Structure 1
Amino acid sequence: MTERYEHYINGRPAAPIGGAYFESTNPATLEVLYEAARGTKDDVDAAVVAAGEAFENPLWRDLSPTKRGHLLRRLADLVGEHAEELAVMETQDNGKLLREMRGQLAALPEYLYYYAGLADKIQGSQIPTSSVQILNYTQREPLGVVGAITPWNSPLTLTTSKLAPALAAGNTLVIKPSEYTSRTILRVAELASEAGFPDGVVNVVTGYGAEAGAPLVDHPRLAKISFTGSTATGASIASSAAARFIGCTLELGGKSPNIVFEDANVDNAAMGVIAGIFAAAGQTCIAGSRVFAHRSVYDELLEKVANRARGIVIGDPMLEATELGPLAFDAQRQKVNSYVELGVSEGATVLTGGRRPDVDLPGYFYAPTVLTDVNNQMRVTREEIFGPVAAVMPFETEDEVLALANDTQYGLAAGVWTQNLARAHRMARRLEAGTVWVNTYRAMSPMSPRQGFKSSGVGIEHGIESMYEYTRLKSVWINTDEGPVADPFIMRS
């Protein structure tokens, strides 16, 4: 019998009010993994009400920041203890390599430990005024109920990057995970209860975007929305949040440039290109999908990248030897394939890949693909594909490649490969991207803030800066003079 998962509301599993469930499938084997509750507006409302009551409950409201940190540390310990279970779940859900997920799960507790340490470090300040009898100080307060909508490509990591600072700041949450990756988020909610978080502080409603995600975004009791996903959906969420004057943090799409200069270590740069576009099957918002190589090293780099792409081991993501698993679902595979066909129709050449590889599994596999004979005006170089497809283009000068790299609606990340220190700093300054890597790619830490420029997002995730995204600033004025009030028609300062 297929395993069934309910919502997680108010500290316990909750059956869907409408009684419906949906199936989740292993993208490598196409086997049905489990059924999950198909959430609706009524389920969302129950979860938001539970979160709102928990926010006002003295068990959470009056808990000191230090003790919130203790709870986060306990949750981090539990995530570490259940790392293998969570890694296997996520690999089965979305096809990411088990060895990659083991690495992510080894690092994931560090996100929680980091924000546990920050919980009692967010301070106000005393403001000098023109009167010694007036005390003015600031304090930061939690917002209230936060709605978090998380994607299918890295559900645990991207959910934790919202959950950890939101909880550290004293908020409560309702999480709507992707319908393709529900299990691990439900399991983390259970672990949060086990760690000692009061009922209703962490809630999860599973289901489809239109049926559960949209009602969560539009719920009148939300104080903030945090979303990771497509730019089009992010724009709609931003509009809804703006209409209600609530905050939103949006981590959206990218079409990131990975730039290789003539003085680069070409072997290292080739590996950086591979990591940037073929790791996680290219299903990452920071994918280095536009590769710019100086004409003097273009042929050499292209040969190394293509040869390595042809040798990538494709197959069962549960096996240690596998280097590339399937795409997460069939519609994504069809989208990737349609973009490659579009590129060819635009004049691109498929140097390698561009097809379903020979794999002894029925899943949604797509071969690592390298496109040449492309330019920066083609749709394959301007639109996010979200798959293992690299478009490689030559350039001549630094100014030329800067113009090409910045000629995009996106501004999430960029890579630069050079041995010239002055050039590295010039490029980092002039590239219109929230993250710039030099002689590396895909490095990240909970301590380092991430922000998307242009259509790549709003707000900051990671780092101490993200704590401010989940708090509001209050200014308090206290008159210490007990004497009679002077002229009431004069503003005091």
Structure 2
Amino acid sequence: MTVATHDEWLRRAKTLDLPRTHLIDGTEEAGGGSTFTVISPRDGQPLAEVADGGAAEVDAAVAAARRAFDHGPWPRLAPADRGRILLRVADLLEAHRSELALTVSLEMGKPITDAHDIELRAVINTFRWYGQLADKLTDESPHTAPDALALVTREPAGVVGAVVPWNFPLTLAGWKVAPALAAGCTVVLKPSENSPLSALLLGRLAREAGLPPGVLNVVAGDGPVAGRALGLHPDVDVLAFTGSTAVGRHFLRYSADSNLKRVWLELGGKSPNIVLPDAPDLDKAAATAAWGIFFNQGEMCTAPSRLLVHSSIAEDVTEAVVRRARELRVGDPLDPDTEMGALVGEQHLARVLGHIDAARRDGARLRTGGTRILTETGGVHLEPTVFDQVAPGSRLAREEVFGPVLSVLAFDDVDQAVSLANATEYGLAAGLWTSDLSTAHRVSRALKAGTVWVNCYEEGDLTVPFGGMKQSGNGRDKSAHALEKYTELKTTWIQL
């Protein structure tokens, strides 16, 4: 649980020592001298002037990562030794948990309780899990003819470029950095320009934990400049990206235009949440639907933004979700009692409001919300919003809003529910509520999604992989499968 009151978090915010420079080759560097301003969405005030990385800083970071990979100790350490350092990273993240949570809350608007109890728990567990996994992996020796010995070994892929978004700035960085380091790779991390501060703190703590110079580099900067330079860089062997589908397409082009580096993408989502009349607990289904779309201000690629409800229960379930939306406490992200904080910025709010206006024009019925609130605070706040009578072909039913906006669609039978659920270019996640085991298996198989939750939503741990189908991306984060992105298979055939 969080360890401070609202007043205490406010006092800590005034004295927080925020990093402002890149981490390159083990040294905090200002680069070329230009900066950009990080604005806090909680009050619209500047947080820090941060070094603005461009092609020169990316070149320096990649060169450091290349030296560390080709000539440094990290890829040559015993896996158990790499694991021990990752465990020290986890310990330092735990020791600085409040500082990191406060930084996340200030830079992207996440409620401090969620930042402390959920985001920091996730990134700490990620480094701990991969630290423990590092020496548990095995190679293969397939059975061959008696006069030969075949070996299949996994070798670190090289220099990894990791580009991560602002909605879970530490969790998603951890999902990429920790397995890449466990595999013996070196990394250049490029956080979102909206949330660079927590990533820079992560780099600082990783260096303190004993990572050799150049093994983890962090470059702050704009996506079209620093991200593009990383995607095009010929000395980057693997590029791992989480973000929008549009930007994911750019990284595929960068790969084609450079060295054909492997590109792993976790992209957008328009996840369906299907509620059948035989759901084991309709109240729980409705409460979970509301929690899922409003958690993290709806700024989640897996958010269950399409609630598909059987027509016989649609009004009752929708009304329960609307009641929860109206009860939700929206407020200062630094108040531990706040349930929904601020959207990441003014530009993003304008985009979400554009979707709300389009939904009205398309004939959807606004049940609650839809308006900016708390403008006197200077923060970027939006009411939890629910639409029903949403047309399946409308923008609200098809496009990712990435905000606290729920669309409710009714269906008459299971086959229609599956058809509606799959009628999207995305395939990241889905939910299903039913008491029938056969239906659970049959519908889960029919849904085109990388993760299907049955009678729950957003559950799981690091033992299971996470990723998407269709235009939600490729490859998997989490679990041992994540190491497949950061390793190369080598076959050695020995004639005896």
TM-score above 0.5, yes or no: yes
State the match for 1:229 in structure 2: 243
> Which of 245, 270, 283 does residue 255 from structure 1 map onto?
270
Name the counterpart of 1:489.
Answer: none
Q: Match for residue 485 of structure 1?
A: none
Does residue 81 of structure 2 align to residue 75 of structure 1? no
The answer to whether the 8 Å contact 2:38/2:46 transfers is yes
Is residue 115 from structure 1 mapped to residue 123 from structure 2 by the alignment? no
Quick one: which of 349, 353, 358 aligns to 1:342?
358
Question: Does residue 201 of structure 2 align to residue 165 of structure 1?
Answer: no
Q: Distance in 1 between matches of 2:18 and 2:248?
A: 33
* Counterpart selection for 2:26 from 4, 7, 11: 11
Per-residue deviation, residues 322-343 of structure 1 (Å, max 9, x unmatched): 1111100111100000100011
**1:90 and 2:104 are equivalent in the alignment:** yes
Preserved CA contact (<8 Å) 1:413 1:435: yes
* SS of alignment partner, residue 194 of structure 1: helix
**How high is the sequence identity, in percent, across the aligned residues?**
42
Q: Aligned partners of 1:406 and 1:107: how far apart in 2? A: 30
Q: Which residue of the partner structure matches residue 486 of structure 1?
A: none
| Shift, 1:144, TM fit | 0.7
Q: Give the counterpart of 2:254 among 223, 240, 243.
A: 240
Tell me whether 1:423 sits opposite 2:470 in the alignment. Answer: no
Superposed, 1:29-178 pairs within 5 Å as: 29-104=43-118, 105-130=120-145, 132-178=146-192
Q: Contact 1:122–1:140 (CA<8 Å) still a contact in 2?
A: no
For residues 444 and 184 of structure 1, the distance between their equivalents in structure 2, rounded to whole angstroms, comes to: 24
Q: Would the aligned equivalents of 1:314 and 1:359 in 2 still touch at CA under 8 Å? A: no
Cα distance, 1:458 vs structure 2: 1.1
Partner of 2:204: 190
**In the alignment, structure 1 residue 213 sits paired with structure 2 residue 227:** yes
| 1:384-423 alignment runs, 5 A limit | 384-423=400-439
8 A Cα contact 1:315 1:361, kept in partner: no
- Measure the CA separation in 1 of the matches of 2:78 and 2:410: 56
Q: 1:26: which partner in 2? A: 40
| 2:286 counterpart residue number | 270
Q: Is the 8 A contact 1:21 1:35 kept in 2?
A: yes
Provide runs of 4+ in structure 1 moved above 3 Å. Answer: 1-4
Matches within 5 A, 1:300-379: 300-358=316-374, 360-379=376-395
CA RMSD of aligned residues (A): 1.4
Do the aligned partners of 2:19 and 2:201 also contact (CA within 8 Å) in 1? no
TM-score by length of 1: 0.95
Contact 2:75 2:156 in 1 (8 A): no
Larger Rg: 1
Q: Deviations over 1:291-346 (max 9, x none)?
A: 11111111111111111101111110111111111100111100000100011111
Distance 1:453 1:284 in 2: 16
Q: In 2, Cα distance between the equivalents of 1:65 and 1:3? A: 33
- 2:9 aligned partner: none
Q: Does the 8 Å contact 2:228/2:254 carry over to 1?
A: no
Change (3 A) 1:4 1:167: closer
Supply the distance in 1 between the matched residues of 2:254 and 2:198 (Cα, whole angstroms): 28
| Residue deviations 1:337-381 (CA, integer Å, cap 9, x gap) | 010001111111211001112465111111100011211100111
Report how many residues are paired. 478
Distance 2:462 2:165 in 1: 18
Whether the 8 Å CA contact 1:275–1:442 is kept in 2: the answer is no
SS in 2 for 1:187: helix
| Alpha carbons 1:269, 1:417 under 8 Å: kept | yes
Tell me how far apart the structure 1 counterparts of residues 254 and 19 of structure 2 sit (CA, whole Å): 33
2:155·2:490 contact (CA, 8 Å) conserved in 1?
yes
- Counterpart of 2:467 in structure 1 is 451
**1:484 corresponds to which residue?**
none
TM-score (normalised: structure 2): 0.94
Q: Distance in 1 between matches of 2:76 and 2:319?
A: 61
Of 293-302 and 116-125, deviating more is 116-125
Distance 1:106 1:228 in 2: 20
Farther-moved stretch of structure 1 (375-384 vs 244-253) = 244-253
The amino acid across from 1:240 in the alignment is: Y
TM-superposed CA distance for 1:126, in Å, is 1.1
* Offset at residue 61 of structure 1 (A): 3.0
Distance in 2, Cα, partners of 1:225 & 1:3: 28
Q: 1:127-171: CA deviations, max 9, x gaps?
A: 2223x2322111100011000000000000000000010000000
1:106 Cα deviation after fit: 2.6
2:450 counterpart of 1:434: yes
Q: 3-state SS of the aligned residue for 2:381?
A: coil
Q: SS at 2:47's partner residue?
A: strand
Q: What letter matches 2:22 in structure 1?
A: H
Task: Note the residue ranges of structure 1 that are not aligned, 5 or more in a row.
Answer: 481-493
Secondary structure of 2:313's aligned partner: helix
Picking from 301, 319, 332, the partner of 1:285 is 301
Query: 1:358 & 1:50 partners in 2: Cα distance?
Result: 46
* Structure 2 Cα separation of the partners of residues 421 and 83 of structure 1: 41
Counterpart code for 2:191: P
Q: Match for 2:227: what amino acid? A: G
Report the CA distance between 1:4 and its aligned residue. Answer: 6.2
Contact 1:315 1:360 in 2 (8 A): no
The offset of 1:242, in angstroms, is 4.2
- Whole-angstrom CA distance in 1 between matches of 2:46 and 2:112: 19
**Partners of 1:450 and 1:378 in 2: how far apart?**
28
